[in-house]
Amino acid sequence: MPLVPMKQILDEAVRGGYGVGAFNVNNMEQIQGIMKAASETKSPVILQASRGALAYTNIYYIKYMVQAAAEENPEIPIALHLDHGNCFETCKQTIELGFTSVMIDGSLKEDSKTPTNFEENVVITKKVVDFAHETGVTVEGELGTLGGIEDGVGSGKVMLTDPDEAVRFVELTGVDALALAIGTSHGAYKFKAEPKLKLDIIDSIQGKIPGMPLVMHGSSSVPSELIDIINAYGGKMEKTMGVPMESIQEAIKRGMRKINVDTDGRLAITGAIRKFLNDNPSEFDPRSYFGEARTAVYCTVKGKMRDFSTTGHAGDYKPLTLEDMKKKYNR
């Protein structure tokens, strides 16, 4: 099965009332662990790469590793998505590379740190949408800014999404999915106490733009057991809290359809490798400890797919190609 436009995956999630995990990937073991979970649970999945991941892998490796995942799992709809594209050129490069979806984060300037105003966001987002839709590629935009910084992205300031502005933004740009700022945060060190998310923002936007696929960034739960494993085997992570799964599930019920997860995967990998090397001090074969990391990713992601109610939906629909989507956009 060729890679699927993310728009179809999210539109089907809207119809089915479930969430789809968008898991950040940087290497083969992460992709293999995620795909094993998707295959066993029969879940559609979004594999996403940040600009940091593209630099780490020298850009081409991500493309071909995800293509391999698609060939090995022909029954699973897979979208390859650019996470937090910072400018038109970055989005253009990944579209030409074969990504089926891109995010243009017009809420921040090209430095990925300085907030933009509404008009600036509209201009850059519309430019990416016009280019992407010519090739059938999905576009995710963002309105508002999250707390925290991860992979070099974030202003560190929270600017919640205004529902009325969201309506105008969608009308002016034509985006396929909209990332909201409802009080979540990037990174491992999200909150000192359980966050109170502004879930009413989801309700308001769903009432004004029914059926619009909404995106939840900064959605890792930062499970305490993963922090404990890391610290038990030489780590020094401070106590922190992520977004409780109950809050994520409530957000899904209200209309969140794409749920971004990065930090939890990193924590699972780090804990597994630290534990293995501690328990096997004479081991030097990278396949041994990377194999443990792959298993940890699989276990973490499989749980997410169940919690997001994604399981069993991989065979609900006949996947479209970019060419199919191109025709839909250009009618």
Active site residues: 83
CA proximity to 280, closest of 226, 213, 233, 215: 233
Beta bridge pairs of residue 147: 185
Strands (E), the chain: 20-24, 45-50, 78-85, 101-104, 138-143, 177-180, 214-216, 256-261
* Cβ-based neighbours of 106, under 8 Å, separated by 6 or more: 116, 120, 121, 122, 123, 124, 125, 141, 142
Give bridge partners of residue 50 from the DSSP assignment.
Answer: 83
Sequence-distant (≥ 6) Cβ neighbours of residue 312 within 8 angstroms = 41, 42, 43
Q: What would the two tokens of residue 84 be?
A: 């937090």
Residue 143 contacts residue 179 (beta carbons within 8 Å): yes
- Name the nearest CA neighbour of 264 among 1, 22, 20, 3: 22
Q: How far apart are CA 213 and CA 7, in angstroms?
A: 9
CA angle 221, 14, 210 (to 5 degrees): 110
Q: What is the dihedral of CA 160, 165, 167, 173, to 10 degrees?
A: -100
